[in-house]
Structure 1
Amino acid sequence: PKSAVTKTVNTIHGDIQIPAHPQRIVVDLYQNDLLALGIKPVGSVKYFLDNPYSKDLVQGIESIGDRSSVSVEKVLTLQPDLILIASKDASEYEKYSKIAPTIVIPYGTYKNVHEELTAFGELLGKEQEAKTWLAQYDQRLQAARDKLKGIVQPGDTFT
Structure 2
Amino acid sequence: MFKHSEESQISITELMLPSHSNFSGKIHGGHILYLMDQIAFACASKHSRNYCVTASVNKVDFLNPIEVGQLVTLKASVNYTGRTSMVIGLRVESENIQTGEVKHCNSSYFTMVAKDENGKNVPVPGLILDTEQSVRRFARSIVRQDQAKSRFSRFNSSEFKIEEHIDVVKAQNAQVTL
Q: TM-score, normalised by structure 2?
A: 0.23
Q: Which has the higher strand share?
A: 2
Q: TM-score, normalised by structure 1?
A: 0.24
Q: Which has the higher helix share?
A: 1
Structure with the greater alpha carbon radius of gyration: 2
